[in-house]
Amino acid sequence: MIPLRLYDNYSRSLREFAPLQGTDVGLYTCGPTVYDYQHIGNYRTFLFEDTLKRVLRWNGYRVRHVMNITDVGHLTSDADTGEDKMEKGARRTGRTAWEIAALYTQAFESDLAALNIERPDILPRATDHIPEQIAFIADLERRGYTYRTGDGVYFDTSRQADYGYLARLDRQGLEAGKRVDVGDKRNPTDFALWKFSPPDSARQMEWDSPWGKGFPGWHIECSAMAEKYLGDWFDIHCGGEDHIPVHHTNEIAQTEARSGTRLANFWMHGYFLLANDAKMAKSAGEFLRVGALAERGYDPLAFRYLCLTSHYRTQLNFTWDALDAAVTGLARLRSGFHALPAGSSADPDPALIERFTACINDDLNLPRALAVAWETLRGDGAEGANVGATRATLARFDQVFGLGLATWQPELPEAPPAIEALAAARAAARRARDWKEADRLRAELAEQGWEVEDKPDGYALKRRSPS
Ligand code: AMP
Ligand code: ZN
């Protein structure tokens, strides 16, 4: 048995993973803010999380995966100032905040499918969990962790001696420097739990609460929904690296204040996809969508392949050259796999499976696991390699890669017009029951290297394999 070791950002160390209960793993990953399309940077993080889930399953665990949909409360500034991204997105598009939430959630789900990312078991929306968030805040208030200002209810971070531990925040430094716009907050790190609607205008999304009409802060949704679906102490919590200093720090603060746990046993983060060496960000205006890759003729799975070539804890600079190299790699892997004869009942090679497991269990070292797949395909070191076993081994690896190797079909070459005309003439002859002419045309097609296959709704043309 090769142990699974994962890097936990809370302890800043590689730790051996074991589920808190039996073989069931609770996994919570922070999901999209649906005020716009997600960019391929976001998907790098979602791909890392999907790979983690596949590796957990490879190790025999059952995973319960919850991913939230943020459809309210995420402000344009992480310091709780600025506008709600949803209301801003609504203005930009001329639709309501509710309409854009539905639109971009749907776009997100179809991108997941295009990238072969498994749908989480539960995708709860923040706006469907307002009572849970209000109950959470009310409990924090009873325990003395909150205070009110003119614009909302805030969490008092000075009540927790270890606030900011996840990010190793220097609170004294922050306090002394006061570089952050504090407003009415008592401490720079305090954050909003509930924001009031403006006194003079209605928001599109607002709810009654014990503190007045308004909407929940961004962090409280994750603590409340994670607790509802996974409990207040579960196995793994993930997100992008930007979540370490603010969002996840504040989730931990809230849950520690209410339940005394730090929410998850492992805190894991995907590092950024960069564009021109800067963070790819929706708020920066220009960003690449999965749809834009497809429009340029790229198979979205080439992006998945590209992400497998770098470790999730290093930043990855996106370039078109790198994507082109991934296209080539994926095409070779696919055609190599399909050149191996199907239908054998051979088992995967145990020695290769073990080497592969050693890579993926070493904190998801997918670049090395991919190298093992290449060696497998080339048959390096295998004596009297059994091609059936090679195919079975690669198919097993693909349970983790998620590249859909077995379901991929080589594209059929298109028949030139003259061939199409012969096939159409043959179909007409058949309709006229002129079997002789139909046979003659079939033979003529064969002579030119094409085979015609009759189907219930017409026919299909295939290149004849050389005999
Ligand atoms: P958001 O929709 O902004 O809430 O982000 C969704 C997820 O994508 C979060 O886990 C972020 O941390 C992550 N993320 C945002 N930008 C990037 C990036 N450039 N590269 C990788 N992950 C990112
Ligand atoms: Zn979250």
Find residue 122's DSSP bridge partners.
66
Identify the band that residue 467 occupies on the pLDDT scale cut at 50, 70 and 90.
Answer: very low
Run of H or E including 118: none
The single-letter DSSP state of residue 128 is G
Grouping H, G, I as helix, E, B as strand and the rest as coil, residue 233 is: strand
User: In 10 A of CB 172, how many CB atoms?
Assistant: 8
Atom of ligand 1 nearest to the CA of 31: 6
Q: Same CATH fold, 284-401 and 5-270?
A: no
DSSP track, 256-310: HHHHSS-EEEEEEEEPPEEETTEE--GGGS----HHHHHHTT--HHHHHHHHHTS
Ligand nearest to the CA of 237: 2
Q: What is the pLDDT of residues 53-112, one digit of tens each?
A: 999 999 999 999 999 999 987 888 776 777 888 888 888 888 888 998 999 999 999 999
- Shortest-distance Cα residue to atom 12 of ligand 1: 240
* Residue 243 pLDDT exceeds 70: yes
Q: What is the pLDDT of residues 3-27, one digit of tens each?
A: 999 999 999 999 999 999 999 999 9
* Residue 260 pLDDT exceeds 60: yes
Distance 278 CA to ligand 1 centre (A): 13
Please report where in the chains the tokens 């003439």 appear, as a residue.
Answer: 425
- Shortest-distance Cα residue to atom 6 of ligand 1: 32
Sheet containing strand 316-318, edge to edge, reads 278-279, 273-275, 316-318
Distance 248 CA to ligand 2 centre (A): 7
* Residue 178 pLDDT exceeds 80: no
Predicted local confidence at residue 461, as pLDDT: 84
Q: What is the pLDDT of residues 119-172, one digit of tens each?
A: 999 999 999 999 999 999 999 999 999 999 999 999 999 999 999 999 999 877
Helix residue spans in 115-160 (DSSP H):
130-142
* Residue 316 pLDDT exceeds 70: yes
Mean pLDDT score, 286-295: 86
CA angle 376, 377, 379 (to 5 degrees): 65
Find the residues whose C-beta lies inside 6 A of ligand 1.
30, 32-33, 41-42, 44-45, 70, 239-240, 242-243, 270, 272-273, 279-281
Identify the band that residue 285 occupies on the pLDDT scale cut at 50, 70 and 90.
Answer: very low
Taking CA atoms, 248 is separated from 84, 99, 256, in Å, by 19, 28, 12
Predicted local confidence at residue 448, as pLDDT: 87
Identify the band that residue 417 occupies on the pLDDT scale cut at 50, 70 and 90.
Answer: confident
Q: What pTM value is reported for the model?
A: 0.87
Identify the band that residue 342 occupies on the pLDDT scale cut at 50, 70 and 90.
Answer: confident
Look at residues 264, 195, 181 and name the one whose alpha carbon lies nearest to residue 226: 264
Distance 42 CA to ligand 1 centre (A): 4
Alpha-carbon gap, residue 230 to 58, rounded angstroms:
21
Distance 330 CA to ligand 1 centre (A): 25
Atom of ligand 1 nearest to the CA of 282: 3
Mean pLDDT score, 315-320: 94
Which of 76, 242, 282 for a ligand 1 pocket mutation test, highest count of atoms within 8 Å of Cβ? 242
Run of H or E including 91: helix 85-93
Mean pLDDT score, 380-404: 86
DSSP track, 375-388: HHHHTTT-TT--HH
Q: What is the dihedral angle through the alpha carbons of 216, 222, 223, 224, rounded to the nearest 10 degrees?
A: 60
**284-401 adopts what CATH topology?**
Four Helix Bundle (Hemerythrin (Met), subunit A) (1.20.120)
Alpha-carbon gap, residue 61 to 203, rounded angstroms:
44
Domain ranges within the chain, ordered by starting residue: 5-270, 284-401, 417-463
Q: What is the pLDDT of residues 349-367, one digit of tens each?
A: 999 999 999 999 999 999 9
Domain 5-270 bears CATH identifier 3.40.1580.10: no
Atom of ligand 1 nearest to the CA of 243: 12
Identify the band that residue 380 occupies on the pLDDT scale cut at 50, 70 and 90.
Answer: low
